[in-house]
Amino acid sequence: MADFPVLGVDTGGTFTDFVLRTRDGERIHKVLSTPQAPEQAILQGIHELGLDDALANGHLLLVHGTTVATNAALQGRGARTLLITNDGLQDVLAIGRQARQHLYDLTPPAEPRPLPPEHIVGVSARLDATGAEVAALTDQDLADLDAAISAVQPEAVAVSLLFSYLNPSHEQRIAAHLAASGAFVCHSAEVLPLSGEYERTLATWLNAWLGPEVARYLERLRQAVGRTPVSLMQSHGGTVSLASAARRAVSLLLSGPAGGLSAARQLGEDLGRPRLLTFDMGGTSTDVALLDQGLRITLEGRVGPYPVAVPMVDMQTLGAGGGSLARVDDAGMLHVGPQSAGANPGPACYGRGGHEATVTDAHAVLGRLPASTRLGGELPLDVDAAQAALARLGEAMGQSAEQAARGVLAVANAHMAQALRVISIQRGVDPSDFTLVSFGGAGGLHVCDLADALGIREALVPRQSGVLSAQGLTWARQQREQVQSLPNQVSDAELTQQAQRLQQQVLQALAQEEQLAVDALTSELSVDLCYQGQSFPLTIPWHDHPDALELAFHNAHQARYGHRLDGAVRRVNLRARAAAPALLRTTTVPLEHSNEAPSTSEVAGLGPVPVWTRAALEPGRCYQGPMVVTDAVATVWVAAGWQVTRDQADHLLLQAVSAGG
């Protein structure tokens, strides 16, 4: 399989990106997404890349980052779901953690329930806090469940019982009993075997709620690609086979963005810059993350209104992208996003019938996006349509089109800068100690503005930054992550035994599901620890000696929070990761250099500024802003007060040379 070409496909809200990687190099491509049937854009791109024969013969490995689960969750398009829990716990999802979005609002609006009460049924079976059976699962319980299935006619069933992470027998028996119902059935011990009945039940419900939609899409994709093997990127940065992915819908919620972070991590290692702040700005949304010596995996992620406790890359997502719509409310306030023009009709400058102003239109009006630009390498820019859209917005604001465009960019930048502050400054991290890495089709147009806002003096726009998430997919490894909660009291010997057991489980699971040899896999163990009485643990790499494990935790707590305590250390969770070798990776890419002279673009407030193609920049030479750098899949605005250098790997390194911008 390693000799076959690897095709990374990242489906976004506006464009579907392709990176084809072979031993001889790589090719890139973009097509407009088809949100109602994402597989159509995938097949179009494969055809335009000339890969029809490779697809038909199965001589291609396709690695896919999908937004199907994310979009279904955000748009509320889940399946009719039945939740099975213990008697007395039917309201666990409605109660939640009693967290309020607006702490000082004395009359908050009632939050909608995830599912109606008649779609929740309790069973009399019960376990205690050690996993021992208190009340058995009876035949009457199963008969009551059959009656509930008949009444609700669900597409999916979620089973979440108390303390099942210590003893899954009741859940497994219920799942086996309901297997013949025809519904998608999952239970919490397989989805998220952690303590915390709310987070575990919510993750299990989400997995069931999204499962049928994801399964239908993956089946259409399977039929479309025929014999070609497909892997799906998971939220934690590893891939899973298409056959196994339908059972893990909740693990695909950050499928696309995880590919970009995987590429950014590799980029940091290659360039000796392991401390990165990343922002991935596409057509619909922007994802920001902090990388410090590698990816951060969290159990405290959120997607829309839902806390999702499955392992996922630690990032923030906001509805600000190149296609984000700008509008003026009744009070005259300018808003940008989260609504997006999407791929159809897209921003006004796409010339496809869009008439509302977007962030991309603002760049076109200001000249930062030159009139000669071909979006995605092919789509011509309709500057007149962008001008008309901003003129209409400006009229509503009592301003000119140019002033409205500046306002749109200022609001969009403020949203993204705040998200970057949340993942850095609010965690006690000084962003000026990091390199800002920009990718996504729209990222390079904002990189200098965001760096100035955060006091960052060095930024990086990688080679082929507009398709970096798809590129990261081609480097991804088949991987499994498992997390297991520990009992309140666990001895050193029991901890070691459970760690070894979990490590073997995750290795065997990856080997069996992906048909790999166990001895070809690598594995890692870690433990979540906290002081007694704390609610938020730190993840510490495994040490065979308990004293070394606790010392590492004390040191990590000191580094994170600036102090350590003398109290007892509590062992919360075990984590195990198994991974296969990385996919084929091209080690060198020939550096193109042309003698093409720069053109110019009339930039509002600055007059004509040079527009260079990336290939025309002489490697190693510093170029002073203001200027524009273009390539087939992205445009970079180098602001005044910044300089840019193209390195031998074709990355653009931007450095602040003054306080301007």
Summarised one tens digit per residue, pLDDT across range 257-313 is 888 898 898 889 889 998 999 999 988 888 899 998 778 888 888 887 788 888 888
59 has a pLDDT exceeding 70: yes
Q: What is the pLDDT averaged over residues 420-444?
A: 92
The amino acid at residue 145 is L
342 has a pLDDT exceeding 80: no
Q: Residues 613-645: pLDDT tens digits?
A: 999 999 999 999 999 999 988 899 999 999 999
Q: How confident is the model at residue 207, as a pLDDT?
A: 95
CATH code of the region 478-579: 3.30.1490
CATH number belonging to the domain at 6-73+215-255, selected among 3.40.50.880, 3.30.420.40, 1.10.40.50, 3.40.630.30? 3.30.420.40
Q: Which residues contact 560 (CB under 8 A, 6 or more apart)?
A: 428, 538
Identify the band that residue 110 occupies on the pLDDT scale cut at 50, 70 and 90: confident
Residues shown for the chain: 661
Q: How confident is the model at residue 583, as a pLDDT?
A: 66
**Residue 158: enclosing H or E segment and its boundaries?**
strand 156-159
Q: How confident is the model at residue 107, as a pLDDT?
A: 86
* More confidently predicted of 13 and 127: 127
Q: How confident is the model at residue 584, as a pLDDT?
A: 56
Residue 544 backbone phi and psi in degrees, to 5 = -65, -30
Q: How confident is the model at residue 661, as a pLDDT?
A: 40
Distance CA 10, CA 469 (A): 6
418 has a pLDDT exceeding 90: yes
Question: In which residue ranges of the chain is CATH 3.30.420.40 found?
Answer: 6-73+215-255
Q: Which residues of 19-54 are buried (b: 16+ CB within 10 A; e: fewer)?
A: bbbeeeebebbbbbbbbeebbbbbbbbbeebebeeb
564 has a pLDDT exceeding 60: yes
Q: How confident is the model at residue 376, as a pLDDT?
A: 64
250 has a pLDDT exceeding 90: yes
Identify the band that residue 1 occupies on the pLDDT scale cut at 50, 70 and 90: very low
660 has a pLDDT exceeding 50: no
Distance CA 130, CA 137 (A): 17
Q: How confident is the model at residue 562, as a pLDDT?
A: 87
* More confidently predicted of 352 and 449: 449
Distance CA 397, CA 426 (A): 34
Distance CA 50, CA 47 (A): 5
Average pLDDT of the residues of the chain: 90
Most confident by average pLDDT, 93-107, 301-315, 520-534 = 520-534
Identify the band that residue 585 occupies on the pLDDT scale cut at 50, 70 and 90: low
Question: In which residue ranges of the chain is CATH 3.40.50 found?
Answer: 76-211
Q: How confident is the model at residue 586, as a pLDDT?
A: 53
Q: What is the pLDDT averaged over residues 338-344?
A: 81
Q: How confident is the model at residue 589, as a pLDDT?
A: 64
Identify the band that residue 488 occupies on the pLDDT scale cut at 50, 70 and 90: confident
The dihedral over CA atoms of 308, 156, 259, 274, expressed in degrees to the nearest 10, equals: 20
pTM of the predicted model, to two decimals?
Answer: 0.84
Q: How confident is the model at residue 298, as a pLDDT?
A: 84
Q: How confident is the model at residue 81, as a pLDDT?
A: 97
Q: Is 577 helix (H, G, I), strand (E, B) or coil?
A: strand
Q: How confident is the model at residue 297, as a pLDDT?
A: 83
Distance CA 537, CA 569 (A): 10
Domain 76-211 has CATH 1.10.340: no
604 has a pLDDT exceeding 70: yes
Question: In which residue ranges of the chain is CATH 3.30.1490 found?
Answer: 478-579
Neighbours of 604 (CB within 10 A): 15
